Amino acid sequence: MEFSPYDPNLHRDPYPVYRELREKHPAFHNEGLDFYVLSRYPDVAAALRLPETFVSGKGLAVGLPAREAGSESVPLLNVLDGDEHHSLRRFVREGFSPRSIAILEPLIRNVARELIDDLCQQDVPDLVRHFSNPLPTIVISELLGVPITDRERIKDWSNAIMRFDPTTPGNIDPRAGVGPAFELAEYFGAVIEERRVEPRDDLISRLLQRRMAGRQLTKAELVGFGFLLLIGGHETTTNLISNTVILLDDHPSERRRLIDDPALIGNAVEEFLRFDAPVQGLARTTSRAVSIHGRTIPAESKVLLLFASANRDDRFVDEPDRFDVGRKSTAHLSFGLGSHFCLGAALARLEARIAFEELLKHIPDYRLTQRPVQRVKSGPIRGAVRLPIDLGRVASG
């Protein structure tokens, strides 16, 4: 069997391939790009719970030369390990708890409603361009305090970074994906300097002023964190919304359940995440040899942890390929697990709930008009490039 997350054919429907991996090759090795793949729920969860053995610091993508731990000019929370990771995470996590995030509900709802109004005015309404793409960028820009007028630039940088594919000819140089990252970091550095001179009521200004255990965040740490939020908060949430718009088009009876009982939507978000994860998987590097399923994965190997496959494992849920918005399960791995568990999970959940409360209230009968859907070309991300729709009946109010 062949498997690479960069295979363009995979993006149409990766789930039968994941099933084959789970059933026949639970510790698959891609010889060409030299990485291993874990695809069963218990294995992926166990690896995420062992961050000393499966380390993040040497990069989260497969097919790239190993990065030197700590080689970036700015420290990024998601590729720090051990104490360094723990101490930075403690510093920045305040403000991301479900309770702190809940106060954003009116802002998010207003943005969602305005975007739906705008979507309904379009000659060719596109759910990605007019809704799922701008919503998270506007929300995270507001939260951080970066000017809303810069959001197109941020979106372009974010797309270039997340969709970087090392197997495309010309992309072999790992620095190719770093160019836009560098520009985004530079941009963010300038915003920080502005807030230092003139603080406002935003996350950047609050982080600049925060003191903990006698120290403050360095400028490099702040740049790295802002950078990560702009990237992490954008493509992921956009594609959670896009993937769900497709799922509800494919499953009219599940859509009907949500229209008839909007109180179900909060719980259903967990099923949206489980069934078609926006981040399909991320890699770790082994710090020692690991024996698994009769195979020895040597030290210093790249191991891809397939969250999206784990979520469809019948070792984890019954009837995993059935999309059921009433399913009670939050133990999916779409936000990861353990020490690196997604810091923005509460925000993403809130944005998705509000997005579908508003979409299903205002355009309950929408239909996608372009099949097959054009998928985002990216190793880790599963999503849609565009989703033209027929609005159907538009309900105001």
Residue 172 near residue 166, CB atoms below 8 Å: yes
- The residue (of 181 and 348) whose beta carbon lies closer to ligand HEM is 348
CB of 79 or CB of 360, closer to ligand HEM:
79
Q: If 0-12 CB within 10 Å is exposed, 13-18 middle and 19+ buried, where does residue 107 land?
A: middle
Residue whose CB is less far from ligand HEM, 106 or 170: 106
* 233, 374 Cβ separation under 8 angstroms: no
Nearer to ligand HEM, 269 or 317 (CB): 269
Least Å distance between CB 181 and ligand HEM? 15
Cβ atoms within 10 Å of 331's Cβ, excluding its own: 12
Q: Which residues bind to ligand HEM, rule: CB under 6 A?
A: 56, 60, 77-78, 89, 140, 228-229, 232-233, 236-237, 240, 278-279, 282, 334-336, 340, 342-344, 347-348
Nearest approach, Cβ of residue 170 and ligand HEM (Å): 27
- Backbone phi and psi for residue 279, each to the nearest 5 degrees, phi listed first: -105, 105
Question: Considering beta carbons, is residue 3 or 225 the nearer one to ligand HEM?
Answer: 225
- Number of residue whose CB is nearest ligand HEM: 344
* C-alpha closest to that of 384 among 395, 376, 393, 396: 376
Sheet of strand 35-38, all strands in order from the earlier edge strand to the far edge: 27-30, 35-38, 302-305, 282-286, 54-55
Tell me which amino acid residue 334 is: S
CB of 90 vs ligand HEM, minimal distance in Å: 10
Q: Minimum distance between the CB of residue 243 and ligand HEM, rounded to whole angstroms?
A: 9
Closest distance to ligand HEM from the beta carbon of 124 (Å): 26
Instruction: Report d(CA 271, CA 336) in Å as an integer.
Output: 15
The alpha carbon dihedral of 87, 94, 162, 49 has a sign of positive
157 vs 180: CA distance, rounded Å? 5
CA distance 317 to 311: 8
CB of 180 to ligand HEM, least distance (A): 18
Report, in Å, the least distance between residue 58 CB and ligand HEM.
12
Q: How far apart are CA 279 and CA 312, in angstroms?
A: 14
Which CB, 109 or 294, lies closer to ligand HEM?
Answer: 109
Euclidean distance between CA atoms 30 and 297, whole angstroms: 12
Helix axes 235-250, 345-362, angle to 10 degrees: 40
Question: Least separation, in Å, of the C-beta of 249 and ligand HEM?
Answer: 19
